[in-house]
Amino acid sequence: MEEADTEPPLVVVPGADPASRQLCFEWGPAEVLVCETRFGRGGGSPAPGGGDQDIYIQTLRKLFNESHGVFIGLQRCEEELAGKSRKAHLVQVSKNYRSVIRACMEDMHRAAAATRDPALHSQYSTQVSILSAMELIWNLCEILFVEAAAAGPLLLRLLDWIRLHVCDVDSMVREVLSSENPSKHKLFWNLGNTQTLTELELKWQHWHEECQRYLRDGTFASNPHMESICKILAGDENAMLEKKELLTTWYHFLVTRLLYSHPTVKPMELHFYAQSSMDLFLGEESSPEPLDTILMAAFEFELHQVIKECSIALSNWWFVAHLTDLLDHCKLLQSHNLYFGSNMREFLLLEYASGLFSHHSLWQLGVDYFDHCREYGRVYLELHIERIPLNTEQKALKVLRICEQRHMHEQVRSICKIMAMKALRNNRLGSALSWSIRAKDAAFATLISDRFLKDYCERGCFSDLDLIDNLGPSMLLSDRLTFLGKYREFHRLYGEKRFSEAAKLLLMLMTAHIAPCSFWMTLLTDALPLLEQKEVIFSAEQTYELMQCLEDLTAGKPDKQKLLDDDVETTKVEMLRLALARNLARVIVKEGTLEGS
Amino acid sequence: MIKRRGHKIREGSQGSPQPITGPHPPTTAQGRGGHFGTTAARSTSVPAPPMAAPAPPSRSSPVSLRARRPPAANGGRRGRRRERARGGAAMEEVSARFVAQKISKARWRPLPAAALQPPDVFATGSWDNEDNRLSVWAVGELGSGEYLGEPQLLCDIGHDGDVMDMQFLDQERIVVASSTGSVTVFRHHQNNQTLSVNQRWEKAHYHVDQDTSCGGAACTGVICNNPEIVTVGEDGRINLFRADQKDAVRTIDNADSSTLHAVTFLRTTEILTVNSIGQLKIWDFRQQRNEPSQIFSLTGERVPLHCVDRHPNQQHIVATGGQDGMLSIWDIRQGTMPVSLLSAHEAEMWEVHFHPSNPDHLFTCSEDGSLWHWDTSTDVSEKPSFLHHGGRSTTYLSHSTINQSVVCAWLNNDPTKDRMEITNLIPNQTLSVNSLDVLGPCLVYGTDAEAIYVNRQLFA
């Protein structure tokens, strides 16, 4: 095993006191369940911990949902594009991701401004700063990796990058220009410095020479401000460092330095300047923060280091998962294999999607992420989807649809079974039967059919006729269900006074062994009124078969003979025998006369 | 805005109209706009081979409608589906907002009787959240004429359980069905923009449990006809409430052995319900019997029906949407089977709505993330030209009253006259569109991607 990169963070479980009671834990898909055991005394409330905490931040849900769309778009376009348009498309996708982050940031900013609760305000502000850091990193990665700008345009992109993220210059310009006498304004010279530092459209070579000439001639010796500007324009690093407080960050300094001294920097040389800029700028007093190390890793083109540092520094998987996926589409990650799982992209996507699945509402988004993890996505989805709580049928239908689209038959069966069981417990036999038919679950259909038959035996009438009458082909799912349907058909025929058809069906149910043996007595009893009808219904042959059924029933179970001793049962059998004999007598006469005539 | 309008494909334009038999989907219009020229010449004998379709139908390409006929129906239907280009001009007419909750229902507030302006307030309900909410939103211009880009939240209130269905009772009151089985009437106070509970029927729907006493069952559908409110639920029960009465006026226990998915009024005393075994039932509250007065069903397939709507002017025409995404049109005056079955979405159709004032138009939305606009009015190009200058809605209104009032396009089975234009309004959505509502020129819909969308120029 690889060593842990950092010390594991200490998580305080609220309300738990390890001193007095023992804690136990269970690994979940993305979380750890921690609860107090009864080992000491008393029970405790379980508390989930660990995992992707940002998933639960309400205001970030917009980020998750909107980026989901971008993600899907990226996966879909994958096959269609090639060559140059592909690169342009990838840059566009990257920009879309950034605009999603920005939109979320703006929302958060607005929310922070609107709230009066100081705690909430600081929470929003932290989020804004995290989001802006994420955008900053993403943008740099976009320039260096996705767009992979060449020596010339690289600097322009980096200037844009700085301009976008260090936005005080523009506001300063406005302030200075609106005052009456610009040169007397206290900010004027600050502005001058800053503006030159980030000036974009300059004929560098020309300027550079001219500035050095001015400097040599001492043209500006009388005005220290002008002189320092000139020095900066000439690429004097010390002059730049003097204005350190205006530059705010080392990467701002880096870009400035590149602009005035090495405008045609090659991507491969970047890391050298970056390192020295950071050293110069930060000096001895402060050590680099996580953001600094991440950016530095990017300047060094250490992709994996960037992802690693981001995973450690950020409290969500969203950023690394999406960034890695994008970089993977740029074909930048292929050489790297993990010693577990399939690859970095898939590992991170799985982590992120698992986080989504642990959320009560965002789980639907996770499905698509799993779909795009070739190796383990399906297994993850199978395991997660079964654990979604199904509180309404509509939700169950949505989950089922997800499973059916992906041909996850096992899960479909299990969900239908859960729903059937719930319906059964709620005494909704009709619903339960529908669910088990959908699951093609023969055993459960048999169970429910038995319940229907039991109800019938007890009450003497069928419930849920609208369902049983409309079983159609699904009746064939289980023998018992077929019997239920057919038996109900018998009742309908009987009710419609189509006696001979009813009699035929009744007999067929027994001779074809569709009816369970336990139900034969009831069927024979049902035959009684048919036998006693004025006109003869059963033919001689049918009557013989009925008699055989009766004998099979009574003789077949000698041990249960005692049960038959029950008065009611014996009377029933006696009555049946009598009726059968009388029917036989009548039918012999009838058939005899018919043939004779 | 730029509309991609393909060439019209006229069926049977050569020779006699050809009946379509059963499962031969390729013979119907391959609605790929300009690919096939103006007339799709078909051989007049055997079902023609597919007209060398250049692209296999994929999710985003327009697929032909498979006309499926129930045995009794005497005509196939077809139409073509057009994808509206998204982006550019099309984006401007739709305003969207991410709302950090999955939307299960969206409904426009009804307009006062004499109103001329388009609707500007709608309500949404959420589902599957830890704390679900009922929210009221505003769209449109402010008093100063400033246009609001996205819907603005006016007020919201917590709701116990998922919002399963929702209807405006009147301008101020909203009836909400909950997954806990309760039915609540909320009042929207427009002067100070707050919501409050006006009336609640706890456990209007419940299961009689074997072990415990009783547990709530999700109330799946609600329909209002002020002051009457009818609810249906997973417990197969139908309740009739009055907004001002504490107890149910009428309850039909065990009305259905399976789950009732939706309900709508047929006439003032009659309702229509659809259930999970593909049946459409009519219930008459004047009858004391607790039995449906009529049962319609799809033949043998038992495909669950999820939504139902009745034609606003011709009450015998009913549209339902099923689990397989099929749109069924029923004529409840005759037969027990649908007049036409139109193969539509790829997954559950969650809602179907006739346009209330313009019923040649129908809207459906589905779990597969699409929202379809079905247009049976004749092509715009064939209308008298002076109609173009008028307001859009009046154009359609006058058109439908002049030509279509006698024979309704939805029951028209004559293949030569049968032109149906179908537009998918959201081609690239991946997550379910759970609900939609149309009123005047405005469409609102809500999705599982936690966004609400408003289209204010539906017929532009």
The DSSP code sequence of A559-578 is TTHHHHTSHHHHHHHHHHHH
Task: Indicate yes or no: CB of A470 within 8 angstroms of CB of B430.
Answer: no
Distances (CA, A) of B191 to B155, B188, B410: 12, 9, 43
Task: Give the integer Cα–Cα distance in Å for B392 and B361.
Answer: 14
Surface of B (233-262) touching A: CB under 8 A: 234-236, 254, 256-259
Question: What are the backbone dihedrals phi and psi of residue A142, each rounded to the nearest 5 degrees, phi first?
Answer: -60, -45
Q: Assess A398–B contact: CB distance below 8 Å, yes or no.
A: yes
Tell whether ipTM is more than 0.85.
no
Surface of B (298-317) touching A: CB under 8 A: 300-302
Q: Name the nearest CA neighbour of A100 among A65, A128, A126, A75.
A: A65
Q: Which residues of B touch A73 (CB under 8 A)?
A: 428
Token pair recorded at residue A296: 């530095």
Token pair recorded at residue A508: 């067929």
For residue A541, what pLDDT is reported?
A: 85
Q: What is the dihedral of CA A357, A359, A360, A366, to 10 degrees?
A: -30
Task: Give the integer Cα–Cα distance in Å for B226 and B265.
Answer: 12
Q: Assess B130–A contact: CB distance below 8 Å, yes or no.
A: yes
Q: Which residues of B touch A360 (CB under 8 A)?
A: 128-130
Task: Give the integer Cα–Cα distance in Å for B204 and B217.
Answer: 8
Residues 6+ apart with CB under 8 A from A70: A93, A96, A97, A100
CATH topology of domain B64-382+412-455: Methylamine Dehydrogenase; Chain H (2.130.10)
Task: Give the integer Cα–Cα distance in Å for B173 and B109.
Answer: 9
For residue A294, what pLDDT is reported?
A: 87
The C-alpha of B424 sits at a distance from chain A's nearest C-alpha, in angstroms, of 18
For residue B106, what pLDDT is reported?
A: 96
The C-alpha of B430 sits at a distance from chain A's nearest C-alpha, in angstroms, of 8
Cβ-defined contacts of A338-344 (< 8 Å, 24+)? A339/A2, A341/A375, A341/A376, A342/A373, A342/A374, A342/A375, A342/A376, A344/A304, A344/A307
Query: What is the Rg, in whole angstroms, of the alpha carbon atoms belonging to chain A?
Result: 41
Nearest-CA residue of chain B relative to A388? B128
Per residue in B70-116, pLDDT tens? Answer: 333 333 344 444 444 333 334 457 888 899 899 999 999 999 887 78
pTM for the full model? 0.78
Residue among B164, B208, B257 whose CB faces A464 most closely: B257
For residue A586, what pLDDT is reported?
A: 87
Per residue in A3-15, pLDDT tens? Answer: 445 566 666 666 6
For residue B78, what pLDDT is reported?
A: 40
Q: Which residues of B touch A59 (CB under 8 A)?
A: 100
Residue among B98, B323, B347 whose CB faces A65 most closely: B98
Q: Name the nearest CA neighbour of B150 among B92, B96, B84, B204.
A: B96
Nearest-CA residue of chain A relative to B215? A426
> What percent of the residues of chain B are helix, what percent strand, and what percent coil, each to the nearest 5?
10, 40, 55
Query: C-alpha angle A229/A235/A236, rounded to 5°?
Result: 75
Task: Indicate yes or no: CB of B218 within 8 angstroms of CB of A394.
Answer: yes
Q: Which of A359, A363, A398 to mutate to test the interface with B (most CBs of B within 10 A)?
A: A398
Query: C-alpha angle A392/A396/A399, rounded to 5°?
Result: 145
pLDDT above 50: residue B380: no
For residue A282, what pLDDT is reported?
A: 75
3-state secondary structure of A46: coil
Q: Which residues of A touch B209 (CB under 8 A)?
A: 425-427
CA quadruple B95, B99, B101, B107: dihedral sign: negative
Decide if A90 contacts A326 (C-beta within 8 A).
Answer: yes
Residue among B101, B276, B448 whose CB faces A364 most closely: B448
The more confidently predicted of residues B452 and A476 is B452
Task: Indicate yes or no: CB of B301 within 8 angstroms of CB of A472.
Answer: yes
Per residue in B242-252, pLDDT tens? Answer: 998 999 999 99
Domain parsing of chain B, residue ranges = 64-382+412-455
What is the separation of C-alpha B221 from the centre of its chain, rounded to a whole number of angstroms?
Answer: 14
Task: Indicate yes or no: CB of A472 within 8 angstroms of CB of B300.
Answer: yes
Q: Name the nearest CA neighbour of B175 among B188, B184, B164, B187.
A: B184
Q: Assess B45–A contact: CB distance below 8 Å, yes or no.
A: no
| Biggest CA pair distance of chain A | 145
Task: Give the integer Cα–Cα distance in Å for A484 and A490.
Answer: 10
Identity of the amino acid at B391: G
Task: Indicate yes or no: CB of B209 within 8 angstroms of CB of A427.
Answer: yes
Token pair recorded at residue B70: 């129930």
Task: Give the integer Cα–Cα distance in Å for A158 and A164.
Answer: 10
The C-alpha of A253 sits at a distance from chain B's nearest C-alpha, in angstroms, of 38
Q: Assess A434–B contact: CB distance below 8 Å, yes or no.
A: yes
Q: At what angle do helices A377-385 and A409-425 cross, to 10 degrees?
A: 0
Token pair recorded at residue A195: 């503006």
Q: Assess A242–B contact: CB distance below 8 Å, yes or no.
A: no
Task: Indicate yes or no: CB of B277 within 8 angstroms of CB of A434.
Answer: yes
Query: What is the Rg, in whole angstroms, of the alpha carbon atoms belonging to chain B?
Result: 22
Decide if B139 contacts B151 (C-beta within 8 A).
Answer: yes
Parts of chain A with a pLDDT under 70: 1-53, 78-83, 151, 166-248, 284-285, 334-341, 556-566, 594-597
* H or E segment and range at residue B294: strand B294-297
Mean pLDDT in residue range B306-324:
93
Phi-psi region of B22 (alpha: psi -120 to 50; beta: other; left: phi over 0): left
> Helices (H) and strands (E) in chain B — how many of each?
2, 32
pLDDT above 60: residue B19: no
Task: Indicate yes or no: CB of B449 within 8 angstroms of CB of A467.
Answer: no
Surface of B (82-111) touching A: CB under 8 A: 98, 100-102
Task: Indicate yes or no: CB of A73 within 8 angstroms of CB of B428.
Answer: yes
Preceding amide of B56 cis, omega within 30: no
For residue B141, what pLDDT is reported?
A: 61
Q: At what angle do helices A118-141 and A303-313 cross, to 10 degrees?
A: 170
Task: Give the integer Cα–Cα distance in Å for B388 and B380.
Answer: 9
Surface of A (469-498) touching B: CB under 8 A: 470, 472-474
Mean pLDDT in residue range B369-389:
63
For residue A560, what pLDDT is reported?
A: 53
Q: Assess A225–B contact: CB distance below 8 Å, yes or no.
A: no
Distances (CA, A) of A212 to A224, A227, A370: 15, 11, 60
Beta pairing partners, B319:
B309, B329
Q: Name the nearest CA neighbour of A145 among A324, A337, A313.
A: A324
For residue A256, what pLDDT is reported?
A: 75
Task: Indicate yes or no: CB of A426 within 8 angstroms of CB of B235.
Answer: yes
- Chain position carrying tokens 């994808």: B83
Q: Assess A389–B contact: CB distance below 8 Å, yes or no.
A: no
Identity of the amino acid at A208: H
Q: Which of A64, A65, A399 to mutate to test the interface with B (most CBs of B within 10 A)?
A: A65
Task: Count CB atoms within 10 A of the CB of residue A80.
Answer: 9
Q: Which residues of A touch B206 (CB under 8 A)?
A: none
- Chain position carrying tokens 């035996």: A457
Distances (CA, A) of A184 to A50, A180, A194, A219, B396: 57, 9, 17, 21, 68
Q: Which residues of B touch A474 (CB under 8 A)?
A: 302
Polymer length of chain B? 460
Residues 6+ apart with CB under 8 A from B370: B345, B346, B424, B425, B426, B427, B429, B433
Task: Indicate yes or no: CB of A429 within 8 angstroms of CB of B257.
Answer: yes
Terminal CA-CA length for chain A: 99
- Chain position carrying tokens 């049109």: B329
Per residue in B336-353, pLDDT tens? Answer: 788 888 888 999 999 999
Decide if B458 contacts B94 (C-beta within 8 A).
Answer: no
Q: Which residues of B touch A395 (CB under 8 A)?
A: 127-128, 162
